A = this chain, B = another copy of it.
């Protein structure tokens, strides 16, 4: 039932914010990290703009000016009169944003009263819910960034909120897959994003792929072996990036008096070498693989191997650029701005992470980020 999904997902977003102080909702330490209150408002604005305004008779928008505040990147929807940055906006207050959520949720209940939801509304609802789930993950990554870049290193919660996926067989060794034609892309009947279509064939050569992900300890060997100061492991642009790093290490690692610490959602802790590596960017993932004499898998290899792998702990960088599948079509209107316009200069990540909402990912899901970004829960799986 879409209506109960709606209620569950909307509630879970607010649950994620429960440990926050009001002040934590407001700041934007880097451009990629949005203030939590913006996530709360923006996901709400999505339902208001694409469903309520067009499909609920007599709907009055909560506040005409919120469009300037909570539109993300939809060029089709409204001009902005003041040049703003999200992190500069103290208003609307957190309380007003929660009132906005409540107002929109009440109006959405009117929509749900219609036993027979039009197909168009269902489609928009599905996108809206998946969109909000994407922002749930971003909420966690952004909260981690905000708290983890504060000199007081406040924890998010004392109890760790993130669960690893169920163990699935042995994590040692590699899986070998034979050359052949494989089907790629979504072909089920549930929701998927437009970038997972069309389902199509890809020819792959023999390859092997690791069953396990790289650990903190393994990555520390790379650091200790001078991995950040030897250009030959790096892309040219990666090397420029690496040379300019103040603290060349995974995000949240700090060397204090000769010992490595790691900021986690439960606070600053001594680095756990057994733990799965997290928070490296594509340049680092690629350089690490080169140092090991291996490579990253392509997104196609990953998808073909996925059923035999344990995945879901980290978004796994692939060697694939984010490009359209054959026959890819953007949707019409503002919804069409969702994925296609980002298909340049970004790399694909596959899988899911401990921060991904339950049931939000699938093996055909294509996540994507610029190669220099590392604040997501990213990791490394090797191939050859």
| A-to-B contact residues, CB < 8 Å | 21-29, 37, 63, 65, 68-69, 73, 75-76, 80-85, 87-94, 146-147, 149-152, 154, 181, 200-205, 207, 231-232, 234-239, 246, 254, 256, 282-283, 286, 295, 319-321, 323-324, 326-327, 336-337, 341-345, 347, 371
Are A205 and B326 in contact, with the CB atoms below 8 A? Answer: yes
| Chain B residues within an 8 Å CB radius of A84 | 149-151
Task: For the complex, give the distance between the alpha carbons of A319 and B81 in Å.
Answer: 35
Are A341 and B23 in contact, with the CB atoms below 8 A? Answer: no
Task: For the complex, give the distance between the alpha carbons of A371 and B342 in Å.
Answer: 13
What distance in Å separates the Cβ of A297 from its nearest Cβ neighbour in chain B? 11
What distance in Å separates the Cβ of A35 from its nearest Cβ neighbour in chain B? 9
What distance in Å separates the Cβ of A223 from its nearest Cβ neighbour in chain B? 19
Task: For the complex, give the distance between the alpha carbons of A347 and B238 in Å.
Answer: 17
Are A23 and B319 in contact, with the CB atoms below 8 A? Answer: no
The 8 A-B residue pairs with the shortest CB-CB distance in the complex, in nearest-first order: A321-B321, A29-B88, A23-B90, A75-B231, A24-B90, A68-B151, A236-B341, A201-B203
Number of copies: 4
| Chain B residues within an 8 Å CB radius of A22 | 22-23, 93-94
Most chain B C-beta atoms within 10 Å of own C-beta, residue among A21, A151, A207: A151
| Chain B residues within an 8 Å CB radius of A201 | 203
What distance in Å separates the Cβ of A115 from its nearest Cβ neighbour in chain B? 36
| Chain B residues within an 8 Å CB radius of A327 | 205
Are B203 and A203 in contact, with the CB atoms below 8 A? Answer: yes
| Chain B residues within an 8 Å CB radius of A283 | 344
A26/B23 contact (C-beta < 8 A), A91-B150, A282-B344 known: yes
A25/B23 contact (C-beta < 8 A), A88-B149, A205-B326 known: yes
